[in-house]
Structure formats: C-alpha cells, structure tokens
Amino acid sequence: MHVKNTIIFTIIFLFINYNLTFAVNLNTNYEKPYVILIDLNERCLFLIKSNSKKIIKSYPIASGKNKTPSPIGTWKIIDKGAWSNAFGTRWMGLNVPWGNYGIHGTSNPSSIGTPASMGCIRMNNGDAEDLYDRVSPGTVVIIYGGAYGLQYNHFRTLSPGNTGTDVLEVQRVLKNKGYYPYNLDGIYGDCLKKSVIQYELDNHLTITHDINHELYNALNMLPFE
C-alpha cells in the first residue's frame, strides 16, 4: 500500500502544483475537505483528505470504453442528485466542457472493474451513496489515465464532432504553435478544423479533416511507452 500511496500523492502533487490538466485551467479551489482521485488504469476511486493527504476510502469503478473514454483532467463536482434508474441511486456531475459526465451508481454491478461506460465513472450503488454523503459541490475530482489520456497506448483518429481529452490536447499543442486562437473546449468543431487544415498546408502534410498519425507525428505527440 505504501508504493500505491506514493504514486497517488505524486499524481496529486503534479496536478495541483503544475496544472497537468491537459490545458484545462479551472482556477481550482482545494479548500474542500476532500479530493477525489480516479485512477483509470487501476479502475479505482480514492477519497483523500485534503489537509492530511490521507486516503480515507477507496472504491472500485467502471471507466469509459476505448471509443468513449472518461475525461482525464482536473474537474469539480457541480451538482448532485438522488434517483433510481439505470444510472443507479446517486449522481455527482462534473464540469467537463464537452459533455455530460459524472460519478454515479449503476444497475449493472457486474460492469465494475471494466471499461464499460460512455465516459462516466460508475460505482456500486452502496459505494456511490457513501461517497455522495461525504462530498459536496466544489469538490475537486482528478481523473488520471496516462499521458494525453491514453489508457490504451494509442491515439484515436479524430474526426469533426469528436470530443475528449485527446481533442483538448491537440487544441493546446496547436495553440502553442500559434494555429488555434480559440477557447480550449475539447470539441472538434469548425475552429479546430480550420486550424488543422492550415497546419497541414503550412507543413506539406496530407490535407484531411481527420487528425491521424501523420498529424500527431508532425505535432510531436507521441504515445507513452
């Protein structure tokens, strides 16, 4: 457990002190009593005491599928709700700019421990209820899954209409290169399409709306080992 604690605290330190949120600057407030860390590789949610960095509880989760990944970055809980449906008995919504994502229970407990969701974080209903009673809106939620959000050690080919942390990272890289003078929102819309085409033209790349391996390589975005 000591090794796992060290890794978890290192991740928290990096996110808090160096803003490794894949270009999302949320002016995060860490004054709430708890921080939530979700490790997508371990498929585990850790509830951590803010002032002591002590792990209070850990819960198994289900994460997003390969084609519908969970949103990696630093977010906040913005709403809560108690209900009874396919999303289980509790909902804790996150302020992800490109879609409706949250932490919630499930009517399919056999999915816990697998990549099974449309991007939300699933929990067993009893665990979701326990977490729900402990946290409040404004609680920081750190979702970690590796460089660029690559849980699977490869990049998706992105097309207009796609959303996600990988889209956000392409926007950030193009912005740093002076090609994307727009807001970073993780949505592949017309603004990103224009920037991609201009970058391809200027760098003598194949002209396509898709963000593929040729463009990733030109942007020096390499999958992690």
Q: Which of 104, 191, 204, 213 is catalytic?
A: 104
Cα distances from 100 to residues 7, 70, 221, in angstroms, run 29, 11, 27
Burial class (CB in 10 A: 0-12, 13-18, 19+), 160: middle
d(CA 34, CA 17): 17
The residue count for the chain: 225
104 is catalytic: yes
Look-up of token digits 């700019």: 97
191 is catalytic: no
Closest among 183, 184, 207 to 21, alpha carbons compared: 184
Q: Which of 120, 154, 204, 209 is catalytic?
A: 120
How is the chain split among helix, strand and coil, in percent rounded to 5? 30, 25, 45
d(CA 94, CA 97): 9
> What residues are labeled active site?
104, 120
